[in-house]
Amino acid sequence: MGHDGAGPHYGLLPLTDWNVDGSTATGHLARPFPVEPAVRVGQDWWQRLGRPRPPFSGTMAITSQGCSYLTALVVTGPARGRVVNIDLDPERELFFSPDTDFLAWYERWLDETADGLDTGGFSLSIPGTEPTLADTLTTSPDPELRIAAARTLRRRPYLAPTTRAVLRAAVASDPEPVVRASAITTLNVAPTDEDLRVLYQALADPAPAVREAAVRTLARRGTFWQAKARWLLRDEDPEVKKAALKALEDSQVLTEEDVLPLRDDSAASVRAAVISHLSPLDAPSAPATTRAALADPDSLPRVTAVAIGIRRRWLTETDLRAVEHDLDDQIRKRVTSALTRMTRRSAGSASPRTR
């Protein structure tokens, strides 16, 4: 164990892959990793330590979680022996596993695998039996622990009726919106009729993040929620509007009439979503709406309009020439490429007539 083989995520890394960030500095493992487990750090943790880049000295990589995510073991420093989850993207924060050491971390993975827990989300989970986790969700004063408890319960293959009742109570009355939203996502795994009633009630939660989570989870679950989802298309929060659009689309009940009132929404992300959702509907208004978005003051709707308009061949050469020198680099590249293809197609169709 510890040199390749079975383990969380993609398995344990071989010892030859120990170097977290490719540092070639002498004494990398001997220099202390400066972060303490008891201190909750933010996204700028390395800057507050006065470092020009995230310092991963004193750590060795033990698993890859995919993309830029890694799990590392601290071998030198105040957290020696602890397992820490790292994102090599310096804009993301790191967090320690709650396990006391590497062996506890590995044995928890073995136990959870034997118990049939979903292997996804292991790094975001905490140790505990189902009753223990339900108790944490109910009684812990720490909202981060309550969130972790809900996430961990989500990985279990089956939840007892008493646990589902705890989750329903969390959705209805936990004081923290992020906890309510996390409980919603967990409750959506094989929900009972009583669970669905609570999820429906959450569509009217005062917190946008909770309304968003609720409408996402209800997609494809009958029709009882759809009128409320259409009401959420007028929500004050753009993320809620987009979630309602997606839920109705996923349930194959989204219409052109649902989407068009959002064309002039104050949020650029919603205006971009309008173009994205009109296209698969083959709505009669889609080509004109896409062309009009080329003049949007924000780049996101313009980028979306160019990408979809080129793919659906809704944009003429004149349309493309109008945004050929757009300030957005992505738009310029797409337009240049599309115009080049148009020129080649024109040359190809003209060549037989010139012979």
Same domain for 228 and 320: no
Q: Which of 93, 82, 91 is closest to 59 using CA atoms?
A: 82
- Helical H runs in 140-237? 143-154, 161-173, 177-187, 193-201, 208-218, 226-232
Same domain for 232 and 330: no
**pLDDT-derived band at 23, boundaries 50, 70, 90:** low
Same domain for 167 and 79: no
Please identify, among 78, 101, 122, the residue that sits at the C-terminal boundary of a domain.
122
Q: At what angle do helices 268-281 and 238-250 cross, to 10 degrees?
A: 10
pLDDT digits (tens, 9 = 90+) for 235-286: 999 999 999 999 999 999 999 999 999 999 999 999 999 999 999 999 999 9
Same domain for 248 and 133: yes
CATH assignment of the domain containing 238: 1.25.10.10
pTM: 0.85
**Type of residue at 259:** V
Same domain for 238 and 319: no
Domain count, the chain: 3
Same domain for 306 and 198: no
Query: Residue 89 is part of which domain span?
Result: 1-122
Same domain for 74 and 3: yes
Please identify, among 253, 274, 304, the residue that sits at the C-terminal boundary of a domain.
253
pLDDT at 355: 46
Same domain for 286 and 191: no
Same domain for 140 and 102: no
Please identify, among 105, 122, 139, the residue that sits at the C-terminal boundary of a domain.
122
Same domain for 139 and 105: no
